[in-house]
A = this chain, B = another copy of it.
Amino acid sequence: MKTNSTGHQPGPVKNSHLTNDAPTSEAVESLSTVSLRCTECAALYPGIEGGASPRYRCDCGGVLDVEMQFNLPRTQTAPFDIYANFDVDSDLLPAAGAKLRQIFDERASTPPIWSTSADKLLLDHSGVWRYRELILPAPEQFIISRPEGNTILYPVGMENCGPGRVGHRQIGVYAGLERLFLKHEGENPTGSFKDRGMTVGVTMAQLLGARAVACASTGNTSASLASYAAQAGMRGIVFLPAGNVAGGKLAQTLAYGATTIQINGDFDDAMQLVERVCGELGIYLLNSLNPFRVEGQKAIGFEILQQLDWQAPDWLVLPAGNLGNTSAIGKAFRQAYELSLISHMPRFASIQAEGANPFYRSFKQGFASREHVQAHTVASAIKIGNPVSYTRARRVIEESDGIVEEVSDEEILAAKNIIDRSGIGCEPASAATVAGIRKLVERGIIKRDERVVGILTGNLLKDSLTGIPQGSDSVVVEANIDAVRKALLK
């Protein structure tokens, strides 16, 4: 299974620098409670199989979703460190939910001490692994974590904005909401929400004995994969649509040392190619097809709920491209509701760019057909014409009595200008959230007094050149006081 250096061969090429080793029995054992369910035909597969190649799709071609037997805390005994495996029994759920909340709050309150061998403590400080019972039952020594998460939930509504945030409050005024929070996922270590899925994806790669990991990406996933692969000592390989990636994201990916293959094609071409080449060469595939990345993205939802003291909002609004976040955060809220962590489900609003709106088109037909488009939008992170997580996301919109909305590039850039000038800032795709909220409030779908959480997905610095308004307030002057005075008082 190790090296095979001869050139031409039929069947999968093995390469010692790329191909996975077999997973250890410990790894296989640890994931015995994890299964993969086809989102199309409901077929069930093991989460990890010793000896076999990792599975990314059902035999029917459908996308897979992780199913887990939760290892819930025993509620009859007081100490936090005593657990028991028991099946989800509905009578026990309220008590188990209360206990889980207590465990998560206890971990979130761990003092920030980073001593020599404090790996367990570091995991409690991760905004993903803090919720590990609901993410992945990986043994600690396999986990690759920065840690990540712990992003700020900015209160920016007209009512819930404190006196020290008169600038931030302008976002609430623009959106027309009294109680609005923005969760800024651009504050993750590599500057986007992708780090939450990637810590879980690269941990799975570690469990599987991977030597190389690969993805196709509009940029943020590449940067995140490159960073986490480097931390784990794996080779990172990223496929980007040439000329369609924001400068900061490409530079990050190269700096972290990933092999960067720019495809003369669009994102959807790159997606197809990476899936095929990973299968051929035995490279672990970490694009959004990978079901374990979705499990990590769920943590955005759990962290929002914890920051709101487990009081679910009325609405959760987010940008929609490949639909991974809609799927993941929807799944998180559904599980939180099923486990009695919260008492009601929020409604979801997924916001697409008008030029990259296949999910919106399907929604307008009552999801009668799955649409594809040739994507065009200034918001490169959601410039996706054929979203991988369509079925998972559709379920979230349907179950939550949710909605899909579209906004124009002009509306996106106008909202970005408001977010930037409030002092918070974000990348263009993130601004679709606020543009969408404004539209839905104007249309009366979101009520002015409802409690709304919007997601900002990426850092301002990720794409700093897009959306700087024409005629921004910048002048070049000579180095003397008269020139400066004139520039200021003009």
Binding site for B on A (CB under 8 A): 13, 15, 18, 105, 108-119, 122, 141-147, 150, 152-155, 159-160, 162-168, 179, 181, 187, 189-191, 206, 226-233, 237, 239, 242, 247-248, 251-252, 254-265, 269-270, 273, 276-277, 280-281, 303, 306-309, 420-425, 459-462, 464-465, 467-468, 472-481, 484-485, 487-489
Measured between alpha carbons, how far is A255 from B431 in the docked complex, in Å?
13
Q: How far is the CB of A182 from chain B (nearest CB, A)?
A: 11
Nearest residue, chain B, Cβ from A234: B167
* A112-B277 in contact given A233-B167, A261-B477 (Cβ < 8 Å): no
* A489-B162 in contact given A115-B308, A260-B473, A473-B259 (Cβ < 8 Å): no
Looking at the complex, which one of B118, B232, B473 makes contact with A254 (CB distance below 8 Å)?
A: B473
Are A461 and B191 neighbours in the complex by a CB distance under 8 Å? Answer: yes
**Residues of the B chain whose Cβ atoms lie less than 8 Å from the Cβ of A464:** 247-248, 251-252, 255
* A153-B231 in contact given A260-B472, A264-B477, A475-B262 (Cβ < 8 Å): no
Q: How far is the CB of A328 from chain B (nearest CB, A)?
A: 20
Q: How far is the CB of A161 from chain B (nearest CB, A)?
A: 9
Measured between alpha carbons, how far is A484 from B281 in the docked complex, in Å?
11
Measured between alpha carbons, how far is A265 from B468 in the docked complex, in Å?
25
Q: Could you list 18 further interchain pairs (A-B, Cβ under 8 angstroms) beyond the known A252-B461, A277-B485?
A: A115-B309, A119-B163, A142-B164, A147-B152, A164-B231, A227-B424, A227-B425, A239-B484, A252-B464, A255-B421, A257-B473, A259-B473, A261-B487, A263-B479, A265-B478, A270-B479, A277-B488, A461-B462
Are A116 and B155 neighbours in the complex by a CB distance under 8 Å? Answer: yes
Of A116, A163, A306, A477, most buried by chain B (CB within 10 Å of CB) is A116
Q: How far is the CB of A32 from chain B (nearest CB, A)?
A: 22
Are B460 and A255 neighbours in the complex by a CB distance under 8 Å? Answer: yes
Measured between alpha carbons, how far is A253 from B15 in the docked complex, in Å?
47
Looking at the complex, which one of B191, B237, B255, B481 makes contact with A468 (CB distance below 8 Å)?
A: B255
8 residue pairs, one from A and one from B, having the closest CB atoms: A265-B479, A230-B423, A251-B464, A231-B423, A461-B461, A166-B233, A257-B421, A255-B420
29 A-B contacts, Cβ less than 8 Å apart?
A109-B110, A114-B153, A119-B164, A144-B164, A150-B150, A166-B233, A167-B233, A187-B187, A187-B189, A230-B421, A230-B422, A231-B422, A248-B464, A251-B464, A252-B425, A254-B468, A255-B425, A256-B425, A257-B421, A258-B473, A260-B475, A261-B477, A262-B474, A262-B477, A263-B476, A277-B484, A277-B485, A281-B488, A461-B461
Looking at the complex, which one of B111, B179, B247, B264 makes contact with A478 (CB distance below 8 Å)?
A: B264
Are A273 and B481 neighbours in the complex by a CB distance under 8 Å? Answer: yes
